[in-house]
Amino acid sequence: MTKPNGYHRPIDFKHGQVDMTHGSGGRAMAQLIEDLFVASFDNEFLREQNDGASFAVPPGGHMVMATDSHVVSPLFFPGGDIGCLSVHGTVNDVAMAGGRPLYLAASFILEEGFPLADLKRIVESMAQAAKEAGVLIVTGDTKVVERGKGDGVFITTTGVGVRPPGVNVSGGNVQPGDKILVSGMLGDHGVAIMSLRENLSFDTTIESDTAALNGLTAAMLEAVPGIHALRDPTRGGLAAVMNEFARQSGVGIVLQEDALPVRPQVEAACELLGLDPLYVANEGKLVAVCAATDAERLLGVMRAHPLGRDAAIIGEAITDPHCFVQMETSFGGRRMVDWLTGEQLPRIC
């Protein structure tokens, strides 16, 4: 594209704010897109400056598509921000379907008055996250809403990828006798976010574990193409995924409390607030289910990967017409791990 004639004032990323013109389709919006989004995400698709991106689908295989909206508050937290979170979230959704993520679309709803410095920080974080994950952000959209009608910024990302032939992962594939594995420490993200919440604040060095897991899933599927199910335990925690799998597959699940990897600080924070780590969100972990004969090998592959160093076998699926998720406590007694009623809240009792 040829640059417009004459001088146009560069965007003031230090002190400027989002205003309604940035969403109105005119020159201001074009400038924001070019100077911020295109400049940061920088790839051949965006440089074409069309409304959509077109690309060839690799032959064979199966396309996978996933989408996620991100409304996290606060926008910046230890270990990450809404930007990298939005990239990781959708990359992970594609990866959990057994797909290799390729392209992302990113839509922004910006609140009038939102500092451009923060927007730049978020966008650059997205660019970095995309680069590390090996995906391109190829198209997107920007809208601006009036002050008070948004929470700073909402981001929706949609991803497409390709699933190689022979891979068939689904929450409905779990068989009795299958082993259940988790890729690492549970509860980091939720505790990191909660520590910043007003009226709950406590000091901790816990950081969000937000990460792109497609490298890990690729290694896992290469070693064990017959993995039955994959899912990342985000909202609702491990407990939500276990109950989803149990219900989808019509099986029961028994977890071993002693095998669950949880950082001592996360445990302590949960004790303080009366929370159960099983229900706390994770953004850089996955749960895998495979045949018992594959479990040790899969565990080895996970532990060899930087994002799976603390991986563990945590339980197994059983025959159970009620589809209960149970846990053997460290005492040898049993308890249920039930579906949560809404968001888990701290308690005083």
Partner 1 sequence: MKYIDEFRDGKLARALARTIVREVQPDKSYRLMEFCGGHTHAISRYGLEDLLPKQVRMIHGPGCPVCVLPTGRTDSAIELALRPGVTLCTYADTLRVPASDNLSLFKAKAQGADVRMVYSCSDALRIAQDEPEREVVFFAIGFETTTPPTAVVIKQAAALGLKNFSVFCNHVLTPAAMVHLMELSAAGGADSVRIDGFVGPSHVSTIIGSSPYEGFAARYRKPVVIAGFEPLDVMQSILMLVRQINDGRAEVENQFIRAVTREGNQKAQRLMGEVFEMREAFDWRGLGEVPSSALKIREDFAAFDAERRFAIPYRQVPDPKACECAAILRGQKHPSDCKVFGNACTPDRPIGACMVSSEGACAAFFTYGRFRSTTRT
Partner 2 sequence: MCLAIPARVVEVSGVDQARIDIVGVQKEISTALLDNVAVGDYLIVHVGHAIGRIDPDEAEKTLAYLAEMSDEDARALAAASM
Asked if residue 74 has a cis previous peptide bond (ω within 30° of 0), the answer is: yes
Count of residues in the chain: 349
Tokens of 221: 């599927």
- Which two three-digit tokens encode residue 273? 């607030």
**Which residue in 203, 331, 343, 345 binds partner 2 (CB under 8 A)?**
203
C-alpha distances in angstroms, 215 versus 192, 221, 333? 24, 10, 38
The span from the CA of 64 to the CA of 58, in Å, is: 12
Query: Does 345 interact with partner 2 (rule: CB under 8 A)?
Result: no
Position 349 contacts partner 2 (CB under 8 A):
yes
Of the two residues 87 and 253, which places its CB atom closer to partner 1 in the complex? 253
Residues 238/325, Cβ–Cβ less than 8 Å: no
The DSSP call for residue 115 is: B
Among 153, 193, 269, 280, binds partner 2 (CB under 8 A): 269
* 51 contact, one of partner 1, partner 2, none, CB 5-8 Å limit per kind: none
Nearer of residues 1 and 348 to partner 1, judged by Cβ: 348
Which span (108-116, 259-267, 293-301, 316-324) binds partner 2, by CB under 8 A?
259-267
The single residue among 71, 268, 291, 318 that binds partner 1, judged by CB under 8 A, is: 268
**Site for partner 2 contains 196 (CB under 8 A):** no
The DSSP annotation for 4-19 comes to PSS--PPP-TTT-B--
Among the residue ranges 33-41, 54-62, 185-193, 268-276, the one whose residues contact partner 1 (CB under 8 A): 268-276
Q: How many residues sit close enough to partner 2 to count as binding (CB under 8 A)?
A: 16
Fill in the per-residue mask, 90 to 129: x = in contact with partner 2 (CB under 8 A), - = not in contact. Answer: ----------------------------------------
Among partner 1, partner 2, none, what binds residue 332 when CB lies within 5 to 8 Å by partner kind?
partner 1
Is the Cα dihedral 181, 86, 249, 256 positive or negative? positive
Residue 207's binding partner out of partner 2, partner 1, none, with CB under 5 to 8 Å set by partner kind: none
Given 34, 207, 267, 320, the residue binding partner 2 (CB under 8 A): 267
148 is a site residue for partner 1 (CB under 8 A)? no
- Quick one: tokens of 38? 């295109």
151 burial level (CB within 10 Å; 0-12, 13-18, 19+): middle
Check: CB of residue 53 under 8 Å from CB of residue 63: no
Q: What values do phi and psi take at 279, rounded to 5?
A: -105, 5
Report d(CA 130, CA 304) in Å as an integer: 23
Q: How far is the CB of 208 from partner 1 (least distance, A)?
A: 21
What's the token pair of residue 321? 């017409």
CA distance 182 to 158: 25
The distance of closest approach from Cβ of residue 289 to partner 1 in the complex, given in angstroms and rounded to an integer, is 21
Number of residues located near partner 1, criterion CB under 8 A: 28
Task: Summarize as ranges the residues that interact with partner 1 (CB under 8 A).
Answer: 199-200, 258, 264, 267-268, 271, 273, 322, 324, 326, 328-336, 338, 341-342, 345-349
Task: Summarize as ranges the residues that interact with partner 2 (CB under 8 A).
Answer: 201-205, 264-265, 267-269, 271-272, 274, 347-349
